[in-house]
Amino acid sequence: MSARSSTAHSVVEPSSTSKLVASVLVVVYALVTMIPLFWIVVTSLKSPPDSISYPPKIVFTPTIEGYCNLFTNQTRQTPEFLATLPPATTACEKVTRERNMVIVGPSNFTKRFFNSLVIAFGSTALSVFLGTIAAYGFSRFKVPLKDDLLFFILSTRMMPPIAVAIPIYLMYRELGLSDTKIGMILLYTAVNVSLAVWLLKGFIDEIPREYEEAAMIDGYTRLQAFRKVVLPQATTGIVATAIFCMIFAWNEYAFAVLLTSGDAQPAPPFIPTIIGEGGMDWPAVGAGTTLFLIPILVFTILLRKHLLRGITFGAVRK
């Protein structure tokens, strides 16, 4: 058995040279992709002068100033005024006072970040829910004009979504959906649902009908069979689809700029507009971007184990 399984994957054992070349390529590729991320994290820990110094500083004193600037609004005061204030209590207050600034209140970042979470998770859940039901229907039932409908669903993605930005802007204004979280959730769902239907239909097509038929003969209704037999086996597909939908909704920028300005604005249009004294506050932008990367990373890592297909293999012999 062991001999068979090893030959099934690689016919020839790779030579040590090719292994070395492969390792070098992997390391180089990893570096190339990691550098921008590394740069963002490093920038978030620099002081504003360090962040724009040229040549870029590799060695610097890390500071939490960027994060303080991200989460707070500040004003400049004279040193005489600062002397009259009670001593700084938090780390952020200390850092800002060194630059003759005073924290006057929290910034909008927390709110924007929360909006992003609500919109991304909301639209992902809705897209995956609708996508799963529609995909199951297309996969299992005789739907009139099935192929045309599927093509229509796919065709909604043929145009870049931004091409319909103006009509959507006008429609949203009429409907009162501008600058609302529900409006953004609906919009992202509309974009994602076609991807969800197509991806999930592929996954559900692969689940043999016999499973549901067996469950229905065993006394379950179709809905119960769907819940207890199809859904658990479609987990991989559902998770993969959810990750794709999540990434789109989390990162989307153009519609967010166009349709939101206040209440419902998510983080992407907000982060690059953080302006400090005398121009862009790059450490704060870096801090915002770093924090913005974390949820999608956590989401993917948490769901990663469901992406393993191994458990579903071998129960049906083909």
Partner 1 sequence: MAEIRVNHLKKNFGDFVAVRDSSFTVKDGEFFCLLGPSGCGKTTTLRMIAGLELPTDGKILLGGDDVTFRRASERDIAFVFQLFALYPHMNVRANIGFPLKCDGLSSSEIRRRVEETAQILRITDLLDKPVSGLSGGDRQRVALGRAIVRKPKAFLMDEPLGALDSEFRHVMCGELRALHNRLKATTVYVTHDQLEAMSMADTIAVMNNGLIEQLGSPREIYDRPASLFVADFIGSPSMNFLDTHAALASGASELAIDGTKIGIPAMRVSVSESDLVLGVRPEHVSLSDQSTLRGEVFGVEYLGTTQIVTVTTKRGMVRARISADMKASLGEHVGLSFRPEKLSVFDKSSGRVLKSALHEGGVHG
| Interacting residues toward partner 1 by CB under 8 A | 208, 210-211, 213-221, 224, 229, 232-233, 311-318
101-106/72-76 β-pairing: antiparallel
* Cβ proximity to partner 1, 79 vs 219, nearer residue: 219
Q: Report in angstroms how near the CB of residue 208 gets to partner 1 at its nearest.
A: 7
The DSSP-derived string for 53-72 is -SSPPSS----SHHHHHHHE
Q: Report in angstroms how near the CB of residue 70 gets to partner 1 at its nearest.
A: 44
Whose CA is closest to 281, among 65, 109, 106, 101? 65
* The residue type at 318: K
What's the rounded Cα separation, in Å, for the pair 166 and 169?
A: 5
Q: Report in angstroms how near the CB of residue 215 gets to partner 1 at its nearest.
A: 7
* Cβ proximity to partner 1, 144 vs 167, nearer residue: 144
* Cβ proximity to partner 1, 222 vs 304, nearer residue: 222
* Cβ proximity to partner 1, 301 vs 315, nearer residue: 315
Q: Report in angstroms how near the CB of residue 235 gets to partner 1 at its nearest.
A: 8
Whose CA is closest to 210, among 193, 225, 231? 225
* The residue type at 214: A
* Cβ proximity to partner 1, 224 vs 300, nearer residue: 224
- H or E element at residue 76: strand 72-76
Instruction: Give the bridge partners for 209, in sequence order.
Output: none
Q: Report in angstroms how near the CB of residue 140 gets to partner 1 at its nearest.
A: 12
What's the rounded Cα separation, in Å, for the pair 241 and 131?
A: 9
